[in-house]
Amino acid sequence: NSAFHGAALDRHHIASELRRFLSDVEESYNITPEDLCRQGVYLSHETCTHASPEASCAANEVYALREAFGEHLQHLIILNTKGYTGHPMGVSFEDTVAVECLLTGITPPMANWKMEDENLGSLNLSTGGRADRPLRYALRFAAGFGSQVAFALYGVFDG
């Protein structure tokens, strides 16, 4: 918890925590950020609505993703279920969705995504259906007031 603000997220704190998490994953499991992007899905905390860079939790999350994954981010499938379930239910449901994506290779579409948001740029938002590649990893991000952040990584491992 960075205690940045009572209700807002600190983009630099999120980015540093994500970089630290990815570094720990690479050191412990030899899974690189590029591996995660090319073979994985990302379950966002934000629904990517109102991604205005001035005052938006979504913009802060996108900033952190760009900082942590760099050029590889374009390959990461990004999804979110809160548009279907609401924010409180979405939080509890996302772990199940992450595992189901790995088991089936199918991702749900972003709810109500009707037009591109220029602030999101070239993010690979899920349109739903079978992924164009085998999915081995699902990275989930959760956040709370005061810039509390948590990451969880699920994986399909041989053996």
Residue 37 lies in a domain: yes
Residue 71 lies in a domain: yes
Residue 54 lies in a domain: yes
Q: What is the pLDDT of residues 93-149, one digit of tens each?
A: 889 999 999 999 999 998 877 777 777 778 899 999 999 999 999 999 988 777 788
Residue 130 lies in a domain: yes
From the number of C-beta atoms within 10 Å of its C-beta (0-12, 13-18, 19+), residue 48 rates as buried
Closest of 126, 157, 127, 109 to residue 41, by C-alpha: 126
Closest of 120, 145, 149, 153 to residue 14, by C-alpha: 149
CATH of the domain at 136: 3.40.47.10
Residue 131 lies in a domain: yes
User: How far is the C-alpha of 4 from the C-alpha of 8, rounded, in Å?
Assistant: 7
Helix axes 57-69, 11-29, angle to 10 degrees: 40
Residue 123 lies in a domain: yes
Give me the domain span that covers residue 110.
Answer: 11-155
Does residue 63 register a pLDDT over 70?
yes
- Transcribe 21-43 into DSSP letters: HHHHHHHHH---HHHHHHHEEEE
Q: How many domains does the chain have?
A: 1
pTM for the model? 0.88
Residue 6 lies in a domain: no
Residue 2 lies in a domain: no
